A and B are shown apart, each in its own frame.
Chain A
Amino acid sequence: MKWLVWALFASASVASATPPVQSVSPYAVVGDAIEKSLTGQAGDPSRGAELIQQRHKSLCVLCHSGPFPDPHLQGTLAPDLTGIGERLSAGQLRLRIVDMKRLKPDSIMPTYYGIVTNGKDTRIAEGWRDKPVLTAEEIEDLVAYLRTLRP
């Protein structure tokens, strides 16, 4: 039942100003989480720790602050991720990285696992077309790392 509500919510947000986002390979949303690993395997927290700091690749620290190096280069556009592993389960973290807009259609957080349809209104740059921002493996690494952030 809960699932149905999220599914409706998701299709409603697609019907609005945001262009359609296709998922890369299907995943099931239950409540506010994706319980199953996108790769079927657990991610590597040390690779996740590396990736979260790569401001040109994962982009996370452009918006979020947290217990990462170079605090003066961290953004103030999003919640601090310190202790996030205590507040959110792996499944909840996964859905937020995969597609925050399912929970909050007007979120500025990019959809990391989904393909935005290119067109004259969306103007995806050539090198970024037809691919998600991060791969399933990379998202699993981030989930594994964020789970280690406990106060």
Chain B
Amino acid sequence: MIRLVLLSLLACASIGVAAEIPPQDRRSGFEFMSPQTQAMQSEETSNPGMLWVADGERLFGEPQGSADKSCASCHAEAPKSMRGVAARYPTFDEETKRPIDLMGRINQCRVKRQGAASLAYQSDELLALAAYVAYQSHGMPIAPPADSRLQPFRENGRAWYEQRLGQLQLSCAACHDDRWGARLGGSVIPQGHPTGYPLYRLEWQNMGSLQRRLRGCLVGVRAQPFDFGAPEYVDIELFLMERAKGLKMETPAVRP
């Protein structure tokens, strides 16, 4: 009996929580890429994500829905009104009393203020609008708001991040905290920071949201992914943004 207790203590201790990456060692996925892919991101003329940004600029000024208003009708001059916004999302939504991500907010504005239909997470329009808004924070440090109402949701995001998931029973932390820099098959494991979204991924040959990226990691461990727009993704993003605090926003980034 005593032995059983001792052994279970031992097992718990060795399972232990993964070590967090100290702030001075935090690095964007950009730094794990080849020089060619880095150049593709850094040169705006070669960065495919800039096409979505340009499209987003156009859509931002286009009247929509029954209200016949554009985003710009309420938020004139995005370079000023949207500066720094993406760097502090997700934020607390007074209406639903829970966190909302940037794409969720854009859709909320469409439905409530423009009288238009909400856009799908993987639609070019929503990717373009989110890319254009997030581009206004390019180069700014990630700065999660100090709002204590967000804390329980962030803790829920952390719990998912540390949970062993799927048939393969791997946690996000096992790869992104404990084994970043090592190779999983042919891919270098980055630290899993959400600095560049929406971004252009060469493997997708397309622009994609953070939720699409998280879905990929979930499917990889043979877990049932959450539906697009699920609150769990927003909670995980909240945790990831806190973890990436101080890293610079890169939207639209490029990833392999």
Q: Which A residues fall within an 8 A CB radius of B?
A: 8-9, 11-13, 15-19, 55, 59, 61-63, 72-77, 104-106, 108, 110-111, 116, 121-126, 128-129, 133
B14 at the interface (CB under 8 A from A): yes
Contact B182 A9 (CB under 8 A): no
Interchain CB contact under 8 A, B223 and A123 = yes
**What distance in Å separates the Cβ of B54 from its nearest Cβ neighbour in chain A?**
36
Pick the residue among B167, B174, B184 that contacts A133 (CB under 8 A): B167
User: Of A108, A111, A121, A128, which contacts B222 at CB under 8 A?
Assistant: A128
Residues of A within 8 A of B170 (CB): 108, 110
A3 to B189 Cα, complex, angstroms: 38
Collect the chain A residues with CB atoms within 8 Å of residue B16's CB. Answer: 106
CA distance A104 to B14 in the complex (A): 9
Q: Which of B1-37 contact A (CB under 8 A)?
A: 3-4, 7-8, 10-12, 14-16
Residues in B with CB closer than 8 Å to A73 are 185-186
- Chain A residues with CB under 8 A of B167: 110, 116, 124-125, 128-129, 133
CA of A9 to CA of B182, assembled, Å: 30
B11 contacts A12, C-beta separation under 8 Å:
yes
- Complex Cα gap A62–B183 (Å): 8
Interface centre among A11, A17, A123 (most CB of B within 10 A): A123
Q: Is the CB of A111 within 8 A of B184?
A: no
Beta-carbon contacts of B162-187 to A below 8 Å, as 1s and 0s? 01111111100010000100111110
Bound complex: CA A124 to CA B7 (Å): 28
Contact A61 to B185, CB < 8 A, known contacts A8-B4, A18-B15: yes
A110 touches B169 (CB 8 A): yes
A140 to chain B, nearest CB (A): 21
Inter-subunit contact B182/A76 (CB<8 Å): yes
- The answer to whether A62 and B15 have CB atoms under 8 Å apart is no
How many angstroms between the C-alpha atoms of A21 and B170 in the bound complex? 14
Write out the residue numbers on chain A whose beta carbons fall within 8 Å of the beta carbon of B3.
Answer: 8
Which of A15, A74, A128 sits near B11, CB closer than 8 Å?
A15
A62: which B residues are within 8 A, CB to CB?
Answer: 184-185
Q: In the bound complex, what is the Cα–Cα distance between A117 and B170 (angstroms)? A: 14
Closest Cβ–Cβ distance, residue B16 to chain A (whole Å): 7
Number of B interface residues in the complex (CB < 8 A): 31
Q: Least Cβ distance of A127 to chain B in Å? A: 8
The answer to whether the Cβ of B219 comes within 8 Å of any Cβ in the partner chain is yes
Contacts of A9 in B (CB 8 A): 7, 11
CB–CB A75/B15 < 8 A: no
- B224: Cβ under 8 A from any A Cβ: yes
Query: Contact: B165 with A123, CB < 8 Å?
Result: yes
Shortest CB distance B177–A (Å): 12
Q: Is the CB of A128 within 8 A of B164?
A: no
22 CB-based A-B contacts, threshold 8 Å = A12-B7, A15-B11, A16-B11, A18-B15, A19-B164, A59-B168, A62-B184, A62-B185, A72-B186, A73-B186, A75-B183, A76-B183, A106-B16, A110-B168, A121-B163, A122-B165, A122-B169, A124-B222, A124-B223, A125-B167, A133-B167, A133-B168
- In this complex, what residue of B is CB-closest to A111? B169
Contacts of B165 in A (CB 8 A): 122-123
The CA of A8 and the CA of B169, in the complex, are separated in Å by 21
A-B complex: 6 closest residue pairs judged by Cβ atoms: A128-B167, A12-B8, A12-B7, A73-B186, A12-B11, A62-B185
Q: List chain A residues, Cβ under 8 A from B14.
A: 104-106
Q: CB-CB < 8 A to B179: which residues of A?
A: 77, 108
Q: Which residues of B contact A116 (CB under 8 A)?
A: 167, 169
A125→B219 contact, CB < 8 A: yes
Beyond A9-B7, A123-B165: 7 further Cβ-contacts under 8 Å?
A8-B7, A16-B12, A16-B15, A110-B167, A116-B169, A122-B169, A126-B224
